[in-house]
Structure 1
Amino acid sequence: IFRQPVYCWLGCPVKHEPVFVRLNPSDRRVMMEVSALFFNDPPSPGIKSVSSWILVRFVSTDDITEQNLEVELCPHGQHWVFLFFTPWKKKRVGTRT
């Protein structure tokens, strides 16, 4: 089991039970199981506003292909899944880009 500390957008630690994400790999696919608290009951934002209501954001990089998978989940079932074929470039401190 891989455990990752959980922080808010501003860098402070969350003060509730963290989100639990389990990945179950199989042949050419992966199933993602998520368990998280559901705060209040805001109205469904519609797909155009998912980014305002993201409950879970998961990012993973393939070691071999360097592809990045990003999954963003909203509390009402809307979701975005992105597969990036270009590796993320790390910016080095003190260098020009």
Structure 2
Amino acid sequence: MEFTIEHQWNSASITHDPVTIYLKPASEGLQMDISAPFFNDPPSPLSPAGEPFHGLWEHEVVEVFFLNSEKEQYLEVEVGPHGHHLVLLLSQRRNIWKECLPLSFQASITEKTWKGRALIPWEYFPPSVDQFNAYAIHGSELKRTFEALYPIPEKEVQEGQKPDFHRLEYFRPINFNALIGDEWKEPASSLWKK
């Protein structure tokens, strides 16, 4: 599956090459590949690459959300061009109950683009994921730009409204069986049984 982020959070068109996200199955989980423009703004977080970084959303980042819409349980995976990541498990809107989970993630920068590859363990996904959204953030202060795969429709944006990536009502369907095959059965997650 391939997804391209072509709009800002409020449905305005972006003015640069888009972020593209590729999802494909792997035996241990879901492989996520990122191809994105590199802005280098803000600069790299001041922590070692390869480790979870709380607050990654304040840097240049791509974020992917996988939602069980009935129970409002979701997985948030954030990755950045400098090799940092953040994995959050949420139950109900914005209610983080597990964070900074380990993730196999590598990133590389080539002039004006960056590429990343993450392997998201099946264990991290809530049961019965049926919806999805993805976001990209870059820039500092007044140049801060928030982009969304499935943005808020322009006619629904209210004056003074700010971007909010936890607007679950704007997520759209994703079908893992279409990606992996009709025979695929979702592995049970001990994390989400707790």
TM range (shorter): 0.5 to 0.7
Q: Normalized against structure 2, the TM-score is what?
A: 0.37
Q: Take 1:66 and 1:81, find their aligned partners in 2: how far apart are those partners?
A: 17
Q: Find the partner of 2:65 among 46, 59, 76.
A: 59
Residue type of the alignment partner of 1:16: H
Q: Take 2:25 and 2:69, find their aligned partners in 1: how far apart are those partners?
A: 15
Q: CA deviation at 1:69?
A: 1.5
- Secondary structure at the aligned position of 1:36 is classed as strand
- Higher fraction of helix: 2
Give the corresponding residue for 1:75: 81
Residues 59, 68 of structure 1: 8 Å contact kept? yes
Residues 20, 35 of structure 1: 8 Å contact kept? yes
Taking only the aligned residue pairs, the percentage that are identical comes to 33
- Higher fraction of strand: 2
Q: Take 2:20 and 2:58, find their aligned partners in 1: how far apart are those partners?
A: 21
Q: CA deviation at 1:32?
A: 0.7
Aligned in 2, Cα 1:19/1:83: closer, same or farther, shift over 3 Å? same
Aligned residues: 90
Q: CA deviation at 1:63?
A: 6.3
Q: Normalized against structure 1, the TM-score is what?
A: 0.65
Residues 53, 75 of structure 1: 8 Å contact kept? no
Residue type of the alignment partner of 2:74: N
Question: After the TM superposition, which segments of 4 or more aligned residues of structure 1 sit over 6 Å from their partners?
Answer: none
Q: Is 1:38–2:44 an aligned residue pair?
A: no
Structure with greater contact order relative to length (CA < 8 Å, sep ≥ 6): 2
Q: CA deviation at 1:6?
A: 3.4
Unaligned runs of 5+ in 2: 47-52, 94-166, 170-194
Unaligned runs of 5+ in 1: 92-97
Q: Take 1:79 and 1:67, find their aligned partners in 2: how far apart are those partners?
A: 20
